[in-house]
Structure 1
Amino acid sequence: MLEDLVVWYLFLGGAGAGLLFVSTVLEMLSPQAIDSSRACQGARCAPKPAYRRFFGPSYGMGIAAVALGMLCLLLDLGRSDRALAIFLQPTLSFISVGAYALAALVALAAVLAAIWLFGADFFHRLFVRVLRVFVAIASLVVMAYTGLFLASMPSVPLWATPWIPPLFVASALSSGIALMVCAVVLTGSGGEFKATLQRIQKIDAAVIVCEILLLGLFVLAAFLGSETARMSAERLLAGDLAALFWGIVVVLGLVVPLACEALNRRMGARAAVFSGILVLAGGFFLRWCIAQAGMAPDIVSSVMAALGIQ
């Protein structure tokens, strides 16, 4: 079966990539974040202090989440030679491709983090603009990869569906927004960017609606699929996983945050953080429940082979 460390790897990688994607998009839409009043030499300008307090924690949190996801992968492999083999002897397996995508994302985002965390003003503006695009692309690759990783296993009927990659992308975006809100509010910059956070939460509400629709299509596809896929879906809806699925994933992870964000004008900082925590819990248990529901004793060996674990 998929170990909990693998689920954490999928969740943290997706959530961190979602946060980095949202951060780069917001940065692209915020040209006023660069202090044009300060002297610029060679088109190198310093970021405004207020925006540093917003983007700094966002990039820092995103990189930390992706790095923790990578650590979970390495710990799950168990042996240092396996970990080194991923990078020194790359294959076309999703584990190998995902590890490289995560490493590339961390390396690229670290430059943007240096700007906003430490006020680095020696980067050329054109270089930073191009770098933002590459970080956004790498983030999208990682978000999509976490769903493609499971969908690539035809031996698991519940996972072998085109709906799981977009479902995980939507979940990663929502989790990324939740991480951003928590990072900005908990570091004390929520008041300065209250209007921005409210707009972000409205976008998150739309993403959650999409996630609910995709989750419904995912379950429907399972019921219309093979007998094994239908039995796996029944575990989610009425079986041993139903309490976690309905209670944490659907109600606490989707419905309650959606209701909170629909009323975001009345939400204070604590309520915003509480809603974000619920979204993150729902994102993790979404992956955990889907991973558990898809597994059965007769397909464990094929999944282990796909993971490269003998």
Structure 2
Amino acid sequence: MLEDLVVWYLFIGGAGAGLLFSAAVLESLSPHAVDRTRAARSNRYVPKEAYARFFGPAYGVGIAAVALGMLCLLLDLGRSDRALALFLQPTPSFITVGAFALVILMLIAAVLFAVWMLGALSLPKAAACAVRVCCMVAAAVVMVYTGLFLSSMSSVPLWASPWLPVLFVASALSAGLALLVCVIVLTGSGDEFTTTLRRIQKADAVIIVCELAVLALFVASAVFGGDTARLSAERLIQGDLASVFWGCVVVLGLAAPLVLEAVNRAMNPYAVIATGGLVLAGGYFLRWCVAEAGMAPDIVASVMGVLGIQ
């Protein structure tokens, strides 16, 4: 069974990567280098200092989340030599790719964090664009590799699904956007970027709808995926995990944020933070449910197979 620290890593690392990916995309789309005169005529000019208050904390929290996720993974390994072996003696595996992607992501994001928090806004446009693209690529790798790693475990039928990586990416993006919105509101930048916040919430609503659809496909594929996968799906739908799955994942983590984002047109900060908190909680319990439902039936099936009992 996956340890709690691994589940926390899957959640926090994914949310941090989702935040950094979203921040890099937003920075690429933001007109912070727009001509002052033309922007002033349209009353849409936002000073660079405001963008620094927006992107600086966003990148900082994203780096902290990814670092905390790595710490959970290292604590779960329990031995420093095992962690060092991933880098000193790399092998072609999802774990190795993920470990390097995590380190690269933090290093790249640290550059963007320094640019905004230390006031180094004179970075050449081409270099800044290249750094942002690298940040997006590294964050995408971090978001997708955990799902690919778990889905490659054919011994766990629930996880051996092509929908699992898609589900984890959608969840990571949603959690990243939720974390980003909370950071913006809590740091006081929300008043200057109300329109941006609305667009982020609209994007998150679309992602949540996609996540609901992928989750349904993931569970349906397990129901028709053989006896062991069906047992895992039944634990989620009507078994011992049903209350957490339906209550914490589907209702509180997906449906409730979708409703709150639809009705909170005035961008009330308390409602924004509450919505973000629900999305983040749902992201954690999604991974917990997937981990719990996948492992227990597989262990039973493996023991039965060894004993020759079918």
With normalisation by structure 1, the TM-score equals 0.91
**Match of 1:103?**
103
SS at match of 2:189: coil
**Match of 1:44?**
none
The 5 A counterparts of 1:201-212 are 201-212=201-212
SS at match of 1:296: helix
Matched, 1:270 2:270: yes
**Match of 1:161?**
161
Q: Which blocks of at least 5 consecutive residues in structure 2 are unaligned?
A: 38-46, 303-310
Contact 2:151–2:159 under 8 Å retained in 1: yes
With normalisation by structure 2, the TM-score equals 0.91
**Match of 2:29?**
29
The 2-side partners of 1:221 and 1:117 are apart by: 46
Contact 1:232–1:293 under 8 Å retained in 2: yes
How far the C-alpha of 1:266 sits from its partner, in A, is: 3.2
With over 3 angstroms needed to count, the CA separation of the structure-2 counterparts of 1:275 and 1:233, relative to structure 1, is same
The 2-side partners of 1:133 and 1:298 are apart by: 40
Q: Number of paired residues? A: 293
The 5 A counterparts of 1:60-99 are 60-99=60-99
Q: Deviation per CA, 1:5-56, whole angstroms, max 9, x where unpaired?
A: 111111111111111111111111113257869xxxxxxxxx8100011111
* More deviation, 3-12/210-219: 3-12
How far the C-alpha of 1:196 sits from its partner, in A, is: 0.8
The 2-side partners of 1:301 and 1:86 are apart by: 31
**Letter paired with 2:116:** W
Q: Which blocks of at least 5 consecutive residues in structure 1 are unaligned?
A: 38-46, 303-310
The 1-side partners of 2:263 and 2:210 are apart by: 18
Contact 1:35–1:48 under 8 Å retained in 2: no
**Match of 1:114?**
114
Contact 1:155–1:299 under 8 Å retained in 2: no
Matched, 1:149 2:149: yes
**Match of 1:174?**
174
**Match of 2:226?**
226
Contact 2:10–2:69 under 8 Å retained in 1: yes
The 2-side partners of 1:251 and 1:298 are apart by: 27
Q: Deviation per CA, 1:273-300, whole angstroms, max 9, x where unpaired?
A: 0100000000011001000100027549
**Match of 2:44?**
none
**Match of 1:188?**
188
With over 3 angstroms needed to count, the CA separation of the structure-2 counterparts of 1:35 and 1:285, relative to structure 1, is farther
With over 3 angstroms needed to count, the CA separation of the structure-2 counterparts of 1:248 and 1:33, relative to structure 1, is farther
Contact 1:257–1:276 under 8 Å retained in 2: yes
Q: Deviation per CA, 1:249-271, whole angstroms, max 9, x where unpaired?
A: 01000000000111231340011
With over 3 angstroms needed to count, the CA separation of the structure-2 counterparts of 1:143 and 1:298, relative to structure 1, is closer
**Identity %, equivalent residues:** 68
Q: Deviation per CA, 1:198-237, whole angstroms, max 9, x where unpaired?
A: 1110110000000000000000000010100000001111
Give me the CA root mean square deviation. 1.8
Contact 1:164–1:218 under 8 Å retained in 2: yes
How far the C-alpha of 1:195 sits from its partner, in A, is: 1.4
* More deviation, 231-240/112-121: 112-121
**Match of 1:215?**
215
